[in-house]
Amino acid sequence: MDIAIIGAGGMGREILCLINKINSKKSSYNFIGWYDDLKEIGILIDGYPVLGKISDINSIESKTALVLAIGYPEQKTKLINKINNNNISFPNLIHPNVSIDSFQHIKLGQGIIIQENTTLTTNITINDFVFLSPNCTIGHDTIIGKYSSVMPGANIAGNVTIGESVLVGISSSVLQGLHLAEESFIGGGACVTRDTQRGLTYVGTPARVFGK
């Protein structure tokens, strides 16, 4: 299937590497290029053309898979709400060396990206358009809400509920049984030891509301 990436920056190029790795194990996708509002249409990035702007996606006339190369949850939400085209699908891209106990015990939505060396144990639910960076650990019975992103090296313990549009920063930790409220932002290296409140930023060890 033809596949294109939304976002031609560094994250997009990393996802192209992921597609190439998936294809090295089993030929699954034909990468055709990029959609990006900030790049000139037609220029080549890593040898592939910028096909158009985000607004051009609704004019795609053939069956095409798209991948969001966007880390910030708010931006992902806004972008998905702009897309209305039945020719578009959002596959899940999972690096071949991701450690998963069994897909029978993992529930996945659509448009999910799971990068290399990430570990998922059992009875985990990952909802639409979640991004899991390299070297993350997701513990048992955890739920990750739509549009959320977990940055490299983050460790999520068991029985954690992560709400919609949460960003969990690089090398941060979330202790067992906690709830991260919608639109929470967990700073890099933070250790979350209690439930968070919606829309607030948490930093430090133990994590506290930024600015308080």
What is the per-residue pLDDT for 212? Answer: 59
Tell me, which fold does domain 94-206 have in CATH?
A: UDP N-Acetylglucosamine Acyltransferase; domain 1 (2.160.10)
CA-CA-CA-CA torsion for 6, 149, 27, 88, nearest 10 degrees? -40
Three-state DSSP state, 16: helix
What is the per-residue pLDDT for 111? Answer: 98
SS3 of 160-210: CEECCCCEECCCCEECCCCEECCCCEECCCCEECCCCCCCCEEECCCCEEC
Q: What are the backbone angles phi and psi of residue 122, rounded to the nearest 5°? A: -145, 155
Residues 210 and 34: their CA atoms lie apart, in Å, by: 36
For the chain, the domains span: 2-91, 94-206
Residues 112 and 132: their CA atoms lie apart, in Å, by: 8
Please report, in tens digits, the pLDDT of each residue of the chain (212 residues total).
999 999 999 999 999 999 999 999 999 999 999 999 999 999 999 999 999 999 999 999 999 999 999 999 999 999 999 999 999 999 999 999 999 877 778 999 999 999 999 999 999 999 999 999 999 999 999 999 999 999 999 999 999 999 999 999 999 999 999 999 999 999 999 999 999 999 999 999 999 999 65
What is the per-residue pLDDT for 79? Answer: 95
Burial code of 125-149, b = ≥16 C-beta within 10 A, e = fewer? ebbbbbbbbbbbbbbbbbbbbbbbb
Q: Which CATH class is domain 2-91?
A: alpha beta
The answer to whether 206 and 193 are in contact (CB under 8 A) is: yes
Residues 22 and 190: their CA atoms lie apart, in Å, by: 32
